[in-house]
Amino acid sequence: MVTDTVDLVGDEPIFETSQELIYAIIRGAGGRLTVPMRVVIAILLDSDRHPTADDLIAAVNERIAGISPSTIYRVLSRLDELGVIEHVHSGTGPAFYQLHESSHVHLVCNTCGTIINIPEASFDDLGKSVLAAYKFTIQPRHAALLGQCDRCTAAGAHAEHAADTHQREHQHHTHSPGPVPSKQHTS
């Protein structure tokens, strides 16, 4: 379990864990802590992956059989509305979910699907430049940035080199040095 200490001013409680803080947010908004809601929260707190809705539906059903997918979608929608979780558009497949407390941006490899987390602060200078030039505030956490990881880039460069070498060799072996002389037949 992730441990955070949130020291609020006045008579507000001090939360020892992220789970307690999340529960307080839900209760504070008049929400109920249903069993499916608790299970989804527990899965997200325990996970270091980037689960999709389908992943969460399967994980919930491993813990509690018979929870309908529509219930999980409603739970995800409500947690998103409350700012407890956020969905991230991957650009290469379905959106995935994470707790809002994590302050990072996602890089997704177009080739292998690897997801790399980088600090949101990496976009501070870009955000300031875009705001100054275009009067537009970027939200880098909402969608993943697509590209290629170093492993796929290296593999692509290797494959490209191999293809170029093969093409040159093929041209060398099939290229004729000039016109082929015709045979003359004598009768």
What is the tens place of the pLDDT at every residue in 46-87? 988 889 999 999 999 999 999 999 999 999 999 999 989 988
Rounded Cα–Cα distance for residues 99 and 49 (Å): 11
Residue 113, Ramachandran bin (φ over 0: left; ψ between -120 and 50: alpha; else beta): left
pLDDT in tens, 156-167: 866 665 555 545
Q: What is the pLDDT of residue 163?
A: 56
Structure tokens at 1: 């379990």
CA distances from 130 to 8, 79, 120 (A): 34, 30, 15
Q: What is the pLDDT of residue 162?
A: 56
Task: Give the mean pLDDT of the chain.
Answer: 80
Q: Taking each helix axis from N to C terminus, what angle separates 53-63 and 69-81, rounded to the nearest 10 degrees?
A: 120
* pLDDT exceeds 50 at position 139: yes
* pLDDT exceeds 80 at position 138: yes
Q: What is the pLDDT of residue 39?
A: 97
145: part of which helix (H) or strand (E)? strand 145-147
pTM of the full predicted structure?
0.66
Rounded Cα–Cα distance for residues 109 and 99 (Å): 22
Contact between 17 and 1 (Cβ < 8 Å)? yes
Structure tokens at 171: 């041209």
pLDDT in tens, 85-116: 988 888 888 999 988 866 788 899 999 988 88
* pLDDT exceeds 50 at position 173: no
- Listed in sequence order, the residues at least 6 apart from 139 whose beta carbon sits closer than 8 Å to its beta carbon are none
pLDDT in tens, 6-53: 333 344 444 456 888 999 999 999 999 999 999 999 999 998 888 999
Smallest CA-to-CA distance from 42 within 28, 24, 22 is with: 22
